[in-house]
Amino acid sequence: MADFPAMDRRGLQILTRQECDDLLAQGKIGRIGLQVAGETLVLPVLYCYVGGTVAFRTAPGEKLDSAWVKAPASFEIDEWDLGQRTGWSVLVKGRFEEVSDPEEVAALEQSGLESWTPEVSHTTWVRITPTSITGRRIALQRF
Amino acid sequence: MADFPAMDRRGLQILTRQECDDLLAQGKIGRIGLQVAGETLVLPVLYCYVGGTVAFRTAPGEKLDSAWVKAPASFEIDEWDLGQRTGWSVLVKGRFEEVSDPEEVAALEQSGLESWTPEVSHTTWVRITPTSITGRRIALQRF
């Protein structure tokens, strides 16, 4: 007998933590949400999901650098099929933290995360250690 | 002679306002960034870009309702080609505002924006009147 997924009151399927973890592990691009000088920004990043944390590179000297360390953070991934009107999203909440330990940096460098910005030679790793991970799926043909 | 696009210091092409407008007009799904109780959230929405504003539906009674009205808002769309390592993103900054004028609501209802959440019968329109619209494109094979 199939397990019926839990639904929220909008009719969206609630993803399990395992489903969220799997989607995070499979993804390559997500979006960070952060506050800078009273503004809320949403910016895409190439990321990797290693050891239960979301990690990505940022260029030193960018205006975000000083602002986001230890700041409340969120990270979102999603995927949509417009023809089928289906899709899902996963939201990670936590805090940004610069990765400074050389061993941890070395481990992240070996994660295989690509950089698409060739003009930036030196980068800093930032990670989000999640305080919550939640996800929803819209699937009209769900049964 | 081709115009060479403006680049930022990371080597990203700076999209013109017209390019951003065109991408916003073509898109269907984006993500709002907002602050709720000290947390930064990034949530996907189906949207339409009408009269220079980003508009979307939300269900009354959701916890976000009261929080986001007049709050600093951002809205992001993007698209990626992982194989080609190319993509673009557009960021709209502004403030959320509930659309209450019946004529404006009627105009939005005629925009053709779909709803993918069948359990929600009555919805409220929220819009973001932009204070800034910016975009970037990563295109390694750009010349």
Q: What is the DSSP string of B70-87?
A: TSEEEEEEEEEETTTTEE
| Range B47-54 average pLDDT | 94
Please give the share of chain B, as a percent, with pLDDT higher than 70. 85
Burial of A17 (0-12, 13-18, 19+ CB in 10 A): exposed
Report the range of poorest mean pLDDT among A110-124, B23-37, B62-76, B102-116.
B62-76
Query: How far is Cα B38 from Cα B26, in angstroms, rounded to an integer?
Result: 33
The whole-number pLDDT of residue A71 equals 75
Helix (H, G, I), strand (E, B) or coil at B113: coil
Residue keyed to tokens 């790793």: A125
**Contact residues, chain B, for A116 at CB < 8 Å:** 85, 87, 138, 140
Output the DSSP codes for B2-23. PPPPPB-TTSPEEPPHHHHHHH
- In angstroms, what separates the C-alpha of B32 from chain A's closest C-alpha? 8
| Range B73-83 average pLDDT | 93
pLDDT, one tens digit per residue, over A18-65 is: 999 999 999 999 999 988 877 888 999 999 999 899 999 887 655 555
CB of A92 less than 8 A from some CB of B: no
| Range A66-73 average pLDDT | 68
Q: Which of B42, B85, B138 to mutate to test the interface with A (most CBs of A within 10 A)?
A: B42
Q: Which residues sit opposite B96 in a β-bridge?
A: B128
Rounded to the nearest integer, the mean pLDDT of chain B is: 85
pLDDT, one tens digit per residue, over A98-139 is: 888 999 999 998 888 877 776 666 678 899 999 999 999 987
Q: Which of B8, B24, B40 to mutate to test the interface with A (most CBs of A within 10 A)?
A: B40
Contact criterion met (CB below 8 Å) for A46 and A58: no
